[in-house]
Every structure is written in structure tokens, then in C-alpha cells.
């Protein structure tokens, strides 16, 4: 991860809309050409409608017509690394079951994981082939 990405994540984090939890999360998906798709968590007064940073980044990635994802960067100003929630793991797997994920905490420490580690027995696009 380079300093440029961390700067981008810090800037992005200020745009998170998290008035209820006050837990802000920023996600950037870099595609194979270096293009960046961004997402922040967006909460709602109807709490269950909250949308996580990771899923918002995926939707922006798709809408932006980006090429295959190369890496996901996830940043939160916490001591512990923030990992994607279960729903986001499923959505992140869709386009690359081996997507590399870089978790970054408030000290700039890094932990690398892959989506396949986070979802050990996945259900994905191929599973639908059996029903065709
Ligand atoms: N959240 C994310 O955006 N991504 C995660 O990886 C974990 C949780 C958000 C959802 C909610 O707005 C807040 O963090 C607290 O759960």
C-alpha cells in the first residue's frame, strides 16, 4: 500500500455518514489499471437501511465500468482492524473469489487477508450453473 492510498482513505473517511454509530469506514477498490472506486458507510434513521462502505464501493466500481478489481483497501480510525461484515464478504466475492484485502487501522498498521480466507465455504456464481 502506498502513502497516496492512505491519504485518499483519510479524505474519504470524512465523507462517511455515520451519525448514529459514529463508526466511520472508508473503502477503496483499485482495479487492474489503477482506477479507484470509493465507498463510505451511509447510515439511516431507519437503522436497518444502513449501507456499508465496502458494498457502496462495489456498487460504485460496477457503475463506473471499472475493470476487474485488484485490491480492496479498508480503513477505520480504530485500534482493531475493521474487517468486512458477513453481507459485504458475500458481495465482495462476486467478482473475484480471491480478492486481496488490505485492512488499515488508525496507526496505519496493515493486515492483509483474502476474501477466500474470510469466506471459507462460499456460495457464488458457479453454484447457480447446476440449476441451469
Ligand atoms: N460498517 C462498515 O461500513 N463496514 C464494515 O466493515 C463494518 C461496519 C459500518 C456499518 C455501520 O454504519 C457502522 O459501520 C457500525 O456498524
Specify the CATH number for the domain of residue 121. 3.40.140.10
Where does the pLDDT of residue 1 fall: very low under 50, low under 70, confident under 90, or very high at 90 and above? low
Any bridge partners for residue 30, and if so which? 36, 71
Any atom of ligand 1 within 6 Å of the Cβ of 21: yes
User: Of 8, 54, 67, 117, which one is the catalytic site residue?
Assistant: 54
Any atom of ligand 1 within 6 Å of the Cβ of 50: yes
Nearest atom (ligand 1) to Cα of 56: 3
pLDDT tens-digit map of 19-67 = 999 999 999 999 999 999 999 999 999 999 999 999 999 999 999 999 8
CA 100 vs CA 38, 90, 95, 115: distances in Å: 16, 14, 12, 7
pTM for this predicted structure: 0.95
Q: How far is the CA of 43 from the centre of ligand 1 (A)?
A: 9
Any atom of ligand 1 within 6 Å of the Cβ of 25: yes
Taking 3-state DSSP, the helix, strand and coil percentages for the chain, each rounded to the nearest 5, stand at 35, 25, 40
Number of domains making up the chain: 1
- How would you classify the pairing of strands 69-76 and 100-104? parallel
Q: Is 54 a catalytic residue?
A: yes
**pLDDT of 131:** 80
pLDDT tens-digit map of 54-101 = 999 999 999 999 989 999 999 999 999 999 999 999 999 999 999 999
**pLDDT of 132:** 74
**pLDDT of 60:** 98
Any atom of ligand 1 within 6 Å of the Cβ of 56: no
Q: How far is the CA of 91 from the centre of ligand 1 (A)?
A: 14
Q: How far is the CA of 132 from the centre of ligand 1 (A)?
A: 36
Domain of residue 81, residue span? 3-130
Amino acid at each position: 500500500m502506498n502513502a497516496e492510498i492512505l491519504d485518499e482513505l483519510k479524505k474519504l473517511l470524512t465523507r462517511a455518514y455515520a451519525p448514529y454509530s459514529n463508526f466511520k469506514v472508508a473503502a477503496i477498490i483499485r482495479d487492474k489499471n489503477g482506477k479507484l472506486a470509493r465507498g463510505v458507510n451511509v447510515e439511516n434513521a431507519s437503522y436497518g437501511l444502513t449501507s456499508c462502505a465496502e458494498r457502496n464501493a462495489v456498487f460504485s466500481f460496477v457503475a463506473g465500468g471499472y475493470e476487474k478489481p485488484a485490491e480492496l483497501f479498508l480503513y477505520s480510525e480504530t485500534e482493531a482492524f475493521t474487517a468486512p461484515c458477513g453481507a459485504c464478504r458475500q458481495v465482495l466475492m462476486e467478482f473475484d473469489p480471491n480478492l486481496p484485502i488490505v485492512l488499515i487501522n488508525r496507526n496505519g498498521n496493515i493486515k492483509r487477508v483474502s476474501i477466500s480466507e474470510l469466506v471459507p465455504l462460499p456460495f457464488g456464481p458457479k453454484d447457480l450453473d447446476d440449476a441451469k
